[in-house]
Amino acid sequence: MEMEGSAAVPVGYRFEPTEKELLQYLFHYTMGLPLPCKEIKTEDLYGEKEPWEIFGDQPEAEEGTAVKYFYSTLKRKRAAGARFEREVGKPAETTGDGDDDGSTTRKKKRMKSSRGQWHGQDSAQPIMDDGNGGAAAAVMGFKRSFVYKREKSDQNGRWLLKEYFLNEVFPEFAGKKDFVLCRLKKKTKK
């Protein structure tokens, strides 16, 4: 039975792709090919929206977690650099105590960013293609894990992010490292 206004999704359907399938979806996305599913949206996960604003309202799964998938583009710290920006959300409004001599300005420059951060939990882990027809296994892509950190926030540590990106060794993937497919997971209190 389908409810009025709902998508044509069978009852009990769960979108639970494997890591290899996620890399295949990302390949289609980066190459401009037709996307095999509509469950993955495009979103700026490294912009001014906080994870809960991006996530929106979703009933929590029975296990106490909820998951959504997004295509996103990483932002480099420098145009030709290899490091990526991991800040998220808008800076908190700050009021400074200080003298008119500029000491407040100097103090603010020394302070850490008041924005949230996607804090890395590990280095890139390879995702292997088992090989077809006797071909040797190869690294299709990689995944990295992050946790949301923001001091003095009740959301600190409650959001997990897995980034999937393609292996640039293959010529068709060259220059595609800025494109990622992300799994955003909300941890719920038990």
46-87 pLDDT, tens digit per residue, is 988 999 898 876 555 445 558 999 999 888 777 776 778 778
**Token reading at 42:** 């495009």
Contacts made by residues 161-164, CB under 8 angstroms, sequence distance 24+: 161/45, 161/51, 161/118, 161/185, 164/19, 164/22, 164/23, 164/26, 164/127
Q: Strand pairing of 65-73 and 41-42?
A: parallel
Q: Under CATH, which number does the domain 19-90+106-187 receive?
A: 2.170.150.80
Rounded Cα gap, residues 185 and 161, in angstroms: 6
Please answer whether residues 127 and 164 qualify as being in contact, where contact means their C-beta atoms are separated by less than 8 angstroms: yes
**b (16+ CB within 10 A) / e for 40-56:** beebebbbeebbeebbe
Give me the pLDDT at residue 112, please: 52
Residue % of the chain over a pLDDT of 70:
73
- Reported as a pLDDT band with limits 50, 70 and 90, residue 143 is very high
Domain ranges of the chain: 19-90+106-187
pLDDT per residue over 152-164, tens digit each? 888 888 899 999 9
Give me the pLDDT at residue 36, please: 84
Please answer whether residues 55 and 47 qualify as being in contact, where contact means their C-beta atoms are separated by less than 8 angstroms: no
Give me the pLDDT at residue 176, please: 67
pLDDT per residue over 171-188, tens digit each? 776 666 789 999 999 987
- Reported as a pLDDT band with limits 50, 70 and 90, residue 7 is low
Please tell me which residue, 72 or 90, carries the higher pLDDT value.
Answer: 72
Distances (CA, A) of 62 to 111, 122, 141: 41, 28, 31
Please tell me which residue, 19 or 108, carries the higher pLDDT value.
Answer: 19
For the cut 80, the answer to whether the pLDDT of residue 132 exceeds it is no
- For the entire predicted model, the pTM comes to 0.75
